[in-house]
Chains A and B, each alone.
Chain A
Amino acid sequence: MSILSIRNVVKKYSNHVAVDNVSFEIPKGRIFGMLGPNGAGKTSLIRMITSITRADEGEIILDGEKLNASHPMQIGYLPEERGLYKKMKVGEQLLYLARLKGLSQKEAQSKVDNWLEKFDITDWWSKKVGELSKGMQQKIQFIATVVHDPKLIILDEPFSGLDPINTNLIKDEINAMNNNGTSVIFSTHRMEQVEQICEEIVLMNQGKIILHGDVNQIKSENKENKFEIEFDGSFPSDMLADSFEIVEDTSKSLIIQVKEGHNSNDLLRGLLDRNIEIKSYREVLPTLNEIFIKKVGESNE
């Protein structure tokens, strides 16, 4: 069952196509990464999911229903371009934003209280937002995003401006909510975060999806036959020729590229035959960052 189905969605602006016939499914209860360089169409797509704009073509289905007026209440959206009323008090502001999401005064009050307690910031209630530091404001912004217990949370660069401690705090909350069944869409171009957090990703470029799937699977699909070997002595030069190539040489280990027509066993066998003592041996999988750069580069050509 998908929490979200994007089906043949197109969004055109006067001079360009922002989202070009995009389709994918986001399974329920997953942390889903939406990646892509600036201008790839991520924000345009998110704005359609949050009903800020409408798709020109195609349809978006949230939890089995076509997008309708009740859906914005079930989504928590933390935009990349975000902010709060600087002159409004923290408590009043959170109450207001919670009530705009359809909570009653009473519900809103108790939920806001809960969150402030959770973050141990109950004494901020009557502080003005403008008096808080940027990181503190980010925390308030996060609470505002999730205060109404949405089914789906969309976070656009949620950790920008946060220090490592607060990053972890928010990360833990995201994971906790995810464990309780909340689906999360995580949009960023910080790849190391995606690798840590996301189970599944789509990679967008120029309005199209150029990669979609499970993070581990994508990594193994994109492996380049590179192996890291730690051993004593130097690499036998007679082995290099047309079969292997040293890609990287650090003082401790070598990264070897196995060329077409050969496999890792050939590499191991060659080394064993020459009586070289191997200390460690592992396959080097590409980082998402490398895949990202490579794929975006390919699709731009």
Chain B
Amino acid sequence: MGVGRLYTAVAAGGFRRYATYRAATAAGVFTNTAFGIILVYTYLALWDEKPHLGGYDQAQAVTYVWLGQCLFATLAISGGGVEKDLMERIRTGAIAIDLYRPADLQLWWLSTDLGRSLFQLLGRGVIPFLVGAVFFPMALPVDAGTWAAFLVALLLAMLVSFGIRYLLALSVFWLLDGMGVSQVLAITGIFFSGMSLPLNVFPGAFGEVVRFLPWAAQLQVPADVLLGETGLTRAFAFQAAWAAALLTAGRLLQSAATRRVVVQGG
């Protein structure tokens, strides 16, 4: 049917748009590889000191590092996805035009972002992961089932990631400036997603809280699925619940924002 085709086309557009930045993509691959190497060494030292920290062995910790580098751009963990364009359009008022488009605003941006995610995964994420797999011992599953489950977890992670960024981007309707929001996004994204340290290493009650926040659905849960460290039902339910909650909240905030635009006269 037509609607499905429309959003597929929008997603393809997002894919192609990011595919045009060749030099930037190459630079990103280089950066993620460099940071991966630095992190792997520190993790190896950490797990050397304390084997089975957070329930991972060394190979699993190494895998976690490279998965993080692989998903960093894919899930726009520190920002830099379509929410950047969205904030700019809100700031300049160009968003008013989008509202007249015969398409759902949230679905439109979600499709674009999924297209972007897919490109970042293939163009930017895979190579650092492969480099890691070649030069460091990794714990990769051999059965197709785990990989399939990982892909499901990854798709859910993309939804959660978009959900978080969409909410924050919409706040620009009220804040009028995206600078602070972007910064909040970057700080929380890197720390609470577990980019610098796996969330299951976080100690005590703080660890409990952090592992319950939506950011945990971005890197920690897909990693645990890939490493076979979690039950699938539990993992998927956690991710799906956050995705549903965030996307619903996004819809509510969006209609409030739209009313605001209409009241202001566009």
Check if A and B associate.
no
Interface residues of B (CB under 8 A from A): none
Interface residues of A (CB under 8 A from B): none
